[in-house]
Protein backbone atom coordinates (compact mmCIF):
# COMPACT_ATOMS: atom_id res chain seq x y z
CA UNK A 1 0.00 0.00 0.00
CA UNK A 2 1.33 3.41 -0.97
CA UNK A 3 0.97 6.21 1.53
CA UNK A 4 0.78 9.85 0.64
CA UNK A 5 -0.14 12.14 3.47
CA UNK A 6 -2.56 14.89 3.14
CA UNK A 7 -3.31 12.63 1.26
CA UNK A 8 -3.74 9.20 0.09
CA UNK A 9 -2.30 5.75 0.18
CA UNK A 10 -2.59 3.19 -2.56
CA UNK A 11 -2.83 -0.57 -2.71
CA UNK A 12 -2.41 -2.29 -6.07
CA UNK A 13 -4.13 -5.54 -6.92
CA UNK A 14 -3.23 -4.89 -10.46
CA UNK A 15 0.00 -6.37 -11.71
CA UNK A 16 2.36 -4.79 -14.19
CA UNK A 17 0.69 -2.79 -16.93
CA UNK A 18 1.71 -2.91 -20.58
CA UNK A 19 -0.94 -0.71 -22.17
CA UNK A 20 -0.15 1.61 -25.05
CA UNK A 21 -1.04 5.00 -23.63
CA UNK A 22 -0.82 8.61 -24.57
CA UNK A 23 0.10 10.40 -21.33
CA UNK A 24 -1.36 13.82 -20.67
CA UNK A 25 0.96 16.75 -21.03
CA UNK A 26 1.54 18.85 -17.89
CA UNK A 27 -0.74 21.52 -19.41
CA UNK A 28 -3.50 18.95 -20.01
CA UNK A 29 -3.19 17.58 -16.49
CA UNK A 30 -3.41 21.07 -15.03
CA UNK A 31 -6.46 21.92 -17.18
CA UNK A 32 -8.14 18.67 -16.12
CA UNK A 33 -7.45 19.40 -12.49
CA UNK A 34 -8.85 22.94 -12.75
CA UNK A 35 -12.08 21.67 -14.38
CA UNK A 36 -12.27 18.88 -11.82
CA UNK A 37 -11.79 21.21 -8.85
CA UNK A 38 -14.53 23.51 -10.10
CA UNK A 39 -16.95 20.61 -10.64
CA UNK A 40 -16.31 19.11 -7.21
CA UNK A 41 -17.24 22.35 -5.46
CA UNK A 42 -20.79 22.23 -6.88
CA UNK A 43 -22.29 19.83 -4.32
CA UNK A 44 -22.17 18.84 -0.66
CA UNK A 45 -23.60 15.41 -1.34
CA UNK A 46 -20.75 12.84 -1.16
CA UNK A 47 -22.39 10.64 -3.81
CA UNK A 48 -22.68 13.57 -6.22
CA UNK A 49 -19.09 14.62 -5.54
CA UNK A 50 -17.86 11.10 -6.29
CA UNK A 51 -20.04 10.84 -9.41
CA UNK A 52 -18.63 14.11 -10.69
CA UNK A 53 -15.09 12.92 -9.99
CA UNK A 54 -15.77 9.64 -11.80
CA UNK A 55 -17.05 11.43 -14.93
CA UNK A 56 -14.30 14.06 -15.08
CA UNK A 57 -11.33 11.69 -14.70
CA UNK A 58 -12.35 9.57 -17.71
CA UNK A 59 -10.52 11.88 -20.12
CA UNK A 60 -7.30 11.29 -18.16
CA UNK A 61 -7.66 7.69 -16.94
CA UNK A 62 -10.33 5.30 -18.15
CA UNK A 63 -12.08 3.72 -15.15
CA UNK A 64 -15.02 1.27 -15.22
CA UNK A 65 -16.05 1.47 -11.59
CA UNK A 66 -15.47 3.35 -8.36
CA UNK A 67 -16.31 2.18 -4.84
CA UNK A 68 -15.98 4.50 -1.82
CA UNK A 69 -16.08 2.94 1.64
CA UNK A 70 -16.60 5.70 4.15
CA UNK A 71 -14.98 5.66 7.58
CA UNK A 72 -18.10 7.40 8.92
CA UNK A 73 -21.71 6.21 9.04
CA UNK A 74 -22.27 7.49 5.53
CA UNK A 75 -23.28 4.62 3.24
CA UNK A 76 -20.79 3.21 0.75
CA UNK A 77 -21.00 4.72 -2.75
CA UNK A 78 -20.71 2.46 -5.78
CA UNK A 79 -20.45 3.90 -9.30
CA UNK A 80 -20.16 1.95 -12.54
CA UNK A 81 -19.25 -1.72 -12.47
CA UNK A 82 -16.63 -3.67 -10.57
CA UNK A 83 -13.93 -5.32 -12.70
CA UNK A 84 -10.98 -7.65 -12.16
CA UNK A 85 -8.13 -5.13 -11.95
CA UNK A 86 -8.26 -2.45 -9.29
CA UNK A 87 -6.20 0.02 -7.32
CA UNK A 88 -7.13 1.06 -3.78
CA UNK A 89 -6.43 4.32 -2.01
CA UNK A 90 -6.80 5.23 1.65
CA UNK A 91 -7.97 8.84 1.88
CA UNK A 92 -6.46 10.55 4.90
CA UNK A 93 -6.23 14.21 5.80
CA UNK A 94 -4.31 15.70 8.70
CA UNK A 95 -7.63 15.54 10.58
CA UNK A 96 -8.09 11.80 10.18
CA UNK A 97 -9.12 8.91 7.96
CA UNK A 98 -11.98 9.56 5.52
CA UNK A 99 -12.29 6.12 3.95
CA UNK A 100 -11.11 3.99 1.07
CA UNK A 101 -11.67 4.53 -2.65
CA UNK A 102 -11.26 1.68 -5.12
CA UNK A 103 -10.94 2.10 -8.89
CA UNK A 104 -11.45 -0.90 -11.15
CA UNK A 105 -11.55 -1.87 -14.80
CA UNK A 106 -10.95 -4.91 -17.04
CA UNK A 107 -7.43 -3.86 -18.09
CA UNK A 108 -4.45 -3.37 -15.84
CA UNK A 109 -3.48 0.11 -14.70
CA UNK A 110 -0.13 1.38 -15.96
CA UNK A 111 2.27 3.20 -13.67
CA UNK A 112 1.77 6.56 -15.36
CA UNK A 113 -2.01 6.15 -15.00
CA UNK A 114 -1.62 5.58 -11.28
CA UNK A 115 0.48 8.72 -11.03
CA UNK A 116 -2.27 10.65 -12.84
CA UNK A 117 -4.95 9.15 -10.57
CA UNK A 118 -3.01 10.22 -7.49
CA UNK A 119 -2.55 13.68 -8.97
CA UNK A 120 -6.30 13.98 -9.54
CA UNK A 121 -7.21 12.46 -6.17
CA UNK A 122 -5.58 15.42 -4.47
CA UNK A 123 -8.42 17.50 -5.95
CA UNK A 124 -11.07 15.12 -4.56
CA UNK A 125 -10.01 14.71 -0.98
CA UNK A 126 -11.04 18.08 0.48
CA UNK A 127 -14.36 18.49 -1.41
CA UNK A 128 -15.20 14.94 -0.31
CA UNK A 129 -14.19 15.70 3.28
CA UNK A 130 -16.37 18.82 3.26
CA UNK A 131 -19.33 16.87 1.85
CA UNK A 132 -18.94 14.15 4.49
CA UNK A 133 -18.70 16.79 7.22
CA UNK A 134 -21.85 18.47 5.96
CA UNK A 135 -23.79 15.20 5.82
CA UNK A 136 -22.62 14.35 9.33
CA UNK A 137 -23.70 17.75 10.60
CA UNK A 138 -27.08 17.38 8.92
CA UNK A 139 -27.52 13.94 10.44
CA UNK A 140 -26.62 15.19 13.92
CA UNK A 141 -29.01 18.11 13.50
CA UNK A 142 -31.82 15.58 13.15
CA UNK A 143 -30.82 13.51 16.20
CA UNK A 144 -31.66 13.92 19.85
CA UNK A 145 -28.21 14.19 21.49
CA UNK A 146 -29.22 12.21 24.59
CA UNK A 147 -30.91 9.14 23.12
CA UNK A 148 -29.56 9.42 19.55
CA UNK A 149 -33.08 8.88 18.25
CA UNK A 150 -34.55 11.20 15.63
CA UNK A 151 -35.69 14.56 16.98
CA UNK A 152 -38.87 16.55 16.26
CA UNK A 153 -37.50 18.01 13.03
CA UNK A 154 -36.69 14.51 11.78
CA UNK A 155 -40.12 13.29 12.87
CA UNK A 156 -41.92 15.98 10.90
CA UNK A 157 -40.00 15.11 7.73
CA UNK A 158 -40.36 11.36 8.15
CA UNK A 159 -44.06 11.46 8.98
CA UNK A 160 -44.87 13.67 6.00
CA UNK A 161 -43.03 11.22 3.76
CA UNK A 162 -44.68 8.14 5.28
CA UNK A 163 -48.14 9.71 5.10
CA UNK A 164 -47.67 10.60 1.44
CA UNK A 165 -46.52 7.05 0.67
CA UNK A 166 -49.46 5.56 2.56
CA UNK A 167 -51.93 7.74 0.67
CA UNK A 168 -50.31 7.04 -2.70
CA UNK A 169 -50.32 3.26 -2.20
CA UNK A 170 -53.42 3.12 0.01
CA UNK A 171 -51.43 1.32 2.69
CA UNK A 172 -51.77 1.28 6.46
CA UNK A 173 -49.91 3.71 8.72
CA UNK A 174 -50.01 3.97 12.50
CA UNK A 175 -48.53 6.32 15.07
CA UNK A 176 -47.62 5.59 18.70
CA UNK A 177 -47.25 8.37 21.26
CA UNK A 178 -45.42 7.09 24.33
CA UNK A 179 -45.05 8.97 27.60
CA UNK A 180 -43.15 7.87 30.71
CA UNK A 181 -45.41 7.79 33.76
CA UNK A 182 -44.59 9.97 36.79
CA UNK A 183 -41.21 10.73 35.29
CA UNK A 184 -40.77 13.92 37.34
CA UNK A 185 -40.50 11.78 40.45
CA UNK A 186 -37.32 10.13 39.11
CA UNK A 187 -35.69 13.51 38.51
CA UNK A 188 -36.82 14.81 41.90
CA UNK A 189 -35.87 11.71 43.91
CA UNK A 190 -32.70 10.60 42.13
CA UNK A 191 -31.46 13.58 40.12
CA UNK A 192 -31.52 14.52 36.47
CA UNK A 193 -28.56 12.28 35.62
CA UNK A 194 -30.57 9.21 36.66
CA UNK A 195 -33.51 10.65 34.76
CA UNK A 196 -31.36 10.87 31.63
CA UNK A 197 -30.23 7.27 32.11
CA UNK A 198 -33.85 6.19 32.37
CA UNK A 199 -34.73 8.03 29.16
CA UNK A 200 -31.88 6.24 27.39
CA UNK A 201 -33.10 2.92 28.79
CA UNK A 202 -36.62 3.63 27.54
CA UNK A 203 -35.26 4.56 24.11
CA UNK A 204 -33.24 1.33 23.91
CA UNK A 205 -36.24 -0.64 25.11
CA UNK A 206 -38.45 0.80 22.37
CA UNK A 207 -35.76 0.09 19.76
CA UNK A 208 -35.38 -3.52 20.94
CA UNK A 209 -39.09 -4.20 20.51
CA UNK A 210 -39.71 -2.35 17.25
CA UNK A 211 -39.05 -3.75 13.80
CA UNK A 212 -36.28 -2.52 11.54
CA UNK A 213 -38.78 -0.66 9.37
CA UNK A 214 -40.29 1.27 12.31
CA UNK A 215 -39.00 4.82 12.88
CA UNK A 216 -38.49 6.02 16.45
CA UNK A 217 -38.19 9.59 17.72
CA UNK A 218 -37.80 11.45 20.97
CA UNK A 219 -40.58 14.00 20.76
CA UNK A 220 -39.42 15.97 23.79
CA UNK A 221 -39.02 15.55 27.54
CA UNK A 222 -40.11 12.02 28.42
CA UNK A 223 -42.27 11.59 25.32
CA UNK A 224 -41.46 9.35 22.34
CA UNK A 225 -43.13 8.73 18.98
CA UNK A 226 -42.99 5.64 16.79
CA UNK A 227 -44.09 5.69 13.14
CA UNK A 228 -45.30 2.27 12.01
CA UNK A 229 -45.41 2.02 8.24
CA UNK A 230 -47.71 -0.59 6.63
CA UNK A 231 -49.20 -1.34 10.05
CA UNK A 232 -52.92 -1.48 10.81
CA UNK A 233 -54.56 -0.90 14.17
CA UNK A 234 -54.29 -4.49 15.37
CA UNK A 235 -50.60 -4.63 14.46
CA UNK A 236 -49.98 -1.30 16.20
CA UNK A 237 -51.71 -2.56 19.36
CA UNK A 238 -49.47 -5.62 19.44
CA UNK A 239 -46.29 -3.55 19.11
CA UNK A 240 -47.51 -0.97 21.65
CA UNK A 241 -48.33 -3.67 24.20
CA UNK A 242 -44.92 -5.26 23.73
CA UNK A 243 -43.29 -1.87 24.33
CA UNK A 244 -45.40 -1.29 27.45
CA UNK A 245 -44.48 -4.69 28.90
CA UNK A 246 -40.79 -4.29 28.07
CA UNK A 247 -40.51 -0.86 29.72
CA UNK A 248 -42.38 -2.13 32.78
CA UNK A 249 -39.58 -4.66 33.24
CA UNK A 250 -36.77 -2.17 32.56
CA UNK A 251 -34.73 -0.83 35.48
CA UNK A 252 -31.59 1.19 36.10
CA UNK A 253 -29.33 0.97 39.13
CA UNK A 254 -28.89 3.75 41.68
CA UNK A 255 -26.58 2.94 44.60
CA UNK A 256 -27.73 -0.66 44.57
CA UNK A 257 -31.40 0.25 44.21
CA UNK A 258 -33.32 -0.60 41.04
CA UNK A 259 -35.33 2.28 39.59
CA UNK A 260 -38.10 1.56 37.12
CA UNK A 261 -40.94 3.29 35.36
CA UNK A 262 -43.91 2.53 33.13
CA UNK A 263 -45.29 4.13 29.99
CA UNK A 264 -48.69 5.10 28.68
CA UNK A 265 -49.25 4.76 24.94
CA UNK A 266 -51.74 6.34 22.56
CA UNK A 267 -52.34 4.95 19.08
CA UNK A 268 -53.69 6.61 15.94
CA UNK A 269 -54.09 4.86 12.60
CA UNK A 270 -54.52 6.55 9.23
CA UNK A 271 -58.12 6.55 8.10
CA UNK A 272 -58.43 4.70 4.78
CA UNK A 273 -59.89 6.57 1.82
CA UNK A 274 -59.44 9.85 3.68
CA UNK A 275 -56.73 12.46 3.12
CA UNK A 276 -55.22 13.43 6.44
CA UNK A 277 -52.72 15.99 7.65
CA UNK A 278 -49.98 14.91 10.04
CA UNK A 279 -51.67 17.05 12.70
CA UNK A 280 -54.77 14.85 12.44
CA UNK A 281 -52.74 11.76 13.36
CA UNK A 282 -50.97 13.62 16.16
CA UNK A 283 -54.18 15.00 17.62
CA UNK A 284 -55.84 11.59 17.68
CA UNK A 285 -52.76 9.85 19.11
CA UNK A 286 -52.42 12.58 21.72
CA UNK A 287 -56.08 12.24 22.71
CA UNK A 288 -55.59 8.48 23.08
CA UNK A 289 -52.48 9.06 25.20
CA UNK A 290 -54.41 11.49 27.40
CA UNK A 291 -57.07 8.82 27.89
CA UNK A 292 -54.41 6.24 28.76
CA UNK A 293 -53.16 8.58 31.48
CA UNK A 294 -56.74 8.98 32.69
CA UNK A 295 -57.22 5.23 32.78
CA UNK A 296 -54.50 4.92 35.42
CA UNK A 297 -51.36 4.93 33.22
CA UNK A 298 -49.25 1.93 32.17
CA UNK A 299 -51.75 1.01 29.47
CA UNK A 300 -52.44 1.29 25.74
CA UNK A 301 -55.38 3.17 24.24
CA UNK A 302 -56.32 3.59 20.59
CA UNK A 303 -58.04 6.70 19.26
CA UNK A 304 -60.63 4.36 17.73
CA UNK A 305 -61.56 3.29 21.26
CA UNK A 306 -62.47 6.83 22.29
CA UNK A 307 -66.07 7.91 22.42
CA UNK A 308 -66.34 11.43 21.05
CA UNK A 309 -69.55 13.28 21.63
CA UNK A 310 -70.61 15.69 18.87
Residues taking part in catalysis: 222
State whether the Cα torsion 13-15-20-21 is positive or negative: positive
Q: Is 153 helix (H, G, I), strand (E, B) or coil?
A: helix
Angle (nearest 5°) at CA 259 between 237 and 175:
20
Question: How far separated are the first and last CA of the chain, in Å rounded?
Answer: 75
CA 66 to each of CA 85, 222, 235, 306: distance values in angstroms, whole numbers, following the listed order: 12, 45, 43, 56
183-190 and 192-209 helices cross at what angle (nearest 10)? 140
Question: Which residues, including other chains, have CB under 8 Å from residue 172's CB and lie 6 or more apart?
Answer: 166, 230, 231, 232, 235, 269, 270, 272
Distance of CA 196 to the CA centre of its chain: 23
Q: What is the DSSP string of 50-62?
A: HHHHHHHHTTTS-
Parallel/antiparallel/unpaired status of strands 251-254 and 257-260:
antiparallel
- Helix H or strand E encompassing 68: strand 65-70
Amino acid sequence: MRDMTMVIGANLANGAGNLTLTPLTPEQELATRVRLSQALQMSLDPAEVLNSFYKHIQTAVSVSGVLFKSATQYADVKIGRECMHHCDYRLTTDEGYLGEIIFSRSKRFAENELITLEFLLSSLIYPLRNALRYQSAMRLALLDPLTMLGNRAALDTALRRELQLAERHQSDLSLLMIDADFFKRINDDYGHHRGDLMLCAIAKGIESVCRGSDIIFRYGGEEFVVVLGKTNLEGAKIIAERIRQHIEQTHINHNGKLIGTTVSIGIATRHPRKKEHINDLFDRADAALYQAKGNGRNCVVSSDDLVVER
